[in-house]
Structures are given as structure tokens and as C-alpha cells.
Amino acid sequence: MHQEQLKKNLRNDFPSLTKKILSNDLVYFDTAASAQKPSVVIEALGDFYANHYSNVSRGVHTLCVEATFKYEDARKKVQKFINAKSENEIIFTKNATESINLVAQTYFKKFMQSGDEIILSVMEHHSNLLPWFFLRDNYGVILKFINIDQDGQLDLDHFQSLITDKTKLVAITHLSNVFGTITDKKIIQISRENNLHVLLDGCQSASHLKVDVTELDCDFFVFSGHKLYGPSGIGVLYGKENLLNELPPFLGGGGMINEVSLDGATYAALPAKYEAGTPPMVEAYGLGVAIDYINNIGMENVELYEKELTDYASQKMSDLNFVNRYSNSINKTSIISFNLKNIHAHEVASFLDVEGIAVRAGHHCCQPLMKILDVPATARASFGIYNNKHEVDYFIDALIKCNSFFSVK
């Protein structure tokens, strides 16, 4: 699909976007929280349940073989989508949060001890804070946090100053869910120079940027299907095969074993080693269908189009003197966090909802960052492939109406 075709608006592929909000057409600017689903994904899920459903890798009958093929084929699609070297490097979880917890618990057991250090940033999502807090609180791991500049870019000099001979791992966002800023790849280069492992939280980046984990050279990369136009209940953990082989199992149960006796067990090879119990097979299949849909558009086209849309919205908002935007970085995409002066973010979001515009308001699971910004919350507009400039113009007009309404009030 060419760039011009993408600009023709893909709303018709997304049945939920025909919904009316108080007689207004729905303008969905909350893709950073969760993306809407194209018909092809919705229909594929129904077809799986109706015609191919069975537990996977548990039998030789036709339905089991069909379901297993669809499940493993989805793994191949994910592998190619992020350019992992092997299917064994793709672990299916129920969400990115579980993926991060898996790494946190197993990495500590294999490579760390009390007093060792992990470096995060001050703008991490809670899902990339709490798993490491558990290690700090339970095992005495020391956490350090990289500062940011006013545009939400990581301070590389500060990062380098945090590294000691006790530092083992760097776990950071690949694309900020508050600022929309893209993490500088120099973070990974510096980490490599200091023999540090790197985990990237790709929950936002996977649906907006062309991700190549081999080129990035990160050790772990996590994302969730529901932000990538796929179903909820499916997450992905990419890990370099040699590292995943070294780490111990995370959960115990059926499917992740080689042999069990009353005296103990031996464990299956990758990827089954980390997929205990009945896996999210239908959800994984749905993610594979979503990836096919995105590949048909072309991730390069998605990236260019959403950057253009973000820049257009940013410019329009900069003309409004009653709007405070957070981050003017040129190295950002798909997300704009903002506040209207003297109006709480929740009031702004409620007013916009009456106009049919869905935005997020709150701390965006980034409470430490909100404290740094010295605000209780922000409103956030986040874009997907189904949005267009006409919707941005309508959004700008709604912001003007909102400001006038509360000014009079």
C-alpha cells in the first residue's frame, strides 16, 4: 500500500469507529491505551473459535493440528515482524507486563545478587517499574533512574554517570507513552560498551515504528497485541536465544516440561520452556492476523503517515496560547500530552467526549513522571492508522470550544 492510499483513511476497516457519541462521529485519539480492531481480526477470531478450536500441542487429531499450526504460524509472523533471528526467541505471554515480570524474576535468579544495580528512567510506565521494585524490596537490588530533558529525551551524560561495576541491566521505554519521544539508540551502544544487558519496553513503538531487534541489538523486547490492532490477552517477549536458554523457567505446569517424575522434572526447549499451561492460542493467532494487516499497509508507510499527522497536530496546537504541550522534540511520534491552562485534564477529556473525541486523561501509569512535570495529570491525544487531519482539525476546534466554555464558567 502506498503512502497516498494510507491517507485515504482506513476507518471503514474498523467497525467500532462507526459508533456515534451523542450524535457525533467517534474520533478515537486513544490508541496509545489500546488500538481499535479491524474487521479482518475480529472475523478471524470468530472463525478460529467456530472452526479450528482445540488446545495446542496436546494431540494428533485434526482440530489440534490445525490450532497448533495457527498458533506456531503466528510466532513466525512475530519473528519476521521484529526481525528476530529465530522463532525460539519469541515467547507468548498474556501481556507485556507479564513479559517484563518474566525477565525480572528469571534474570535476577541467574545473573544478580543483593546490591547489584538496574538502571531505569524517570518516565517509565508502571509496568516497567513495579517488577523491578519487587526485586529492590525483596532482594536488595539497587535501582537508578536516568533523568530527562524538557522534551522527554534521556540525558545520556547522566546515564553514563550512573553506571558502575555493580550495574547489570538497563530497562527503558522505546517510545514514551507520555511524550511520544523515541529513545536514542546510543543508550544501547553505551550499554554494550559497558557489558550491560538491555530490555526495551516496546508497547508503544511496536505499532508505530519499524522495529528491528537485530539492528537495535537489545537483549529483550516486549510488547502487547492489543496496541498493535490485535486482540487483548496476548503479549510478546523477545529475548536473545542464548540468554533465554540460560534463564530459569518462570512458571511451572503443562507444556513446559520434558519429563516429570515424583523426584523432579526436566524442562522443554525454547519457546515452550516459558509457555506453561494452555497458551493464549486464539489471541496469538489474532495477533498474527493483525500483523498481516499492518504488513499489507507497510510499517514504513505507517511510520511516515503517523509522524506527519503528529507534526500537523503539534503545529495546530502550538497556535493555541491556552494549551501547554509536553515535549517539543522532533524525535517523537503518535502521542501528544497536553493541558489546557487552569482546566483539569479530566474536565478537558469529559468535554471532548461530549464532542465525540476520545482522549486519555490521568497520570498514564507514570506517576513519578507527573511529579517531575509538577502536574496531577495530563490529557493525551494518541493517533493510529485510522486517524486523519480532518479529525485533528475537529479536535482543535473542540479545544477552542472547551477553553471558551470553562472561561465563561
> What are 263's three cell numbers?
523426584
Among this protein's residues, is 365 annotated catalytic? yes
Rounded to 5°, the CA angle 89-95-96 comes to 65
Compute the distance between CA of residue 142 and CA of residue 107 in angstroms, rounded to an integer: 14
> What are 91's three cell numbers?
515467547
Give the helix ranges, DSSP H, for 323-388.
Answer: 345-354, 367-373
- Annotated catalytic residue: which of 218, 365, 366, 402? 365
Compute the distance between CA of residue 305 and CA of residue 365 in angstroms, rounded to an integer: 27
3-state secondary structure of 345: helix
Q: What are phi and psi of 340, to 5 degrees?
A: -90, 135
Q: Do 107 and 95 contact (CB within 8 A), yes or no?
A: no
Of 31, 15, 33, 3, the residue nearest 383 (C-alpha)? 31
Q: Do 223 and 202 contact (CB within 8 A), yes or no?
A: yes
DSSP 194-239: TT-EEEEE-TTGGGTS---HHHHT-SEEEEEGGGGTS-SS-EEEEE
Q: Which residues are catalytic?
A: 365
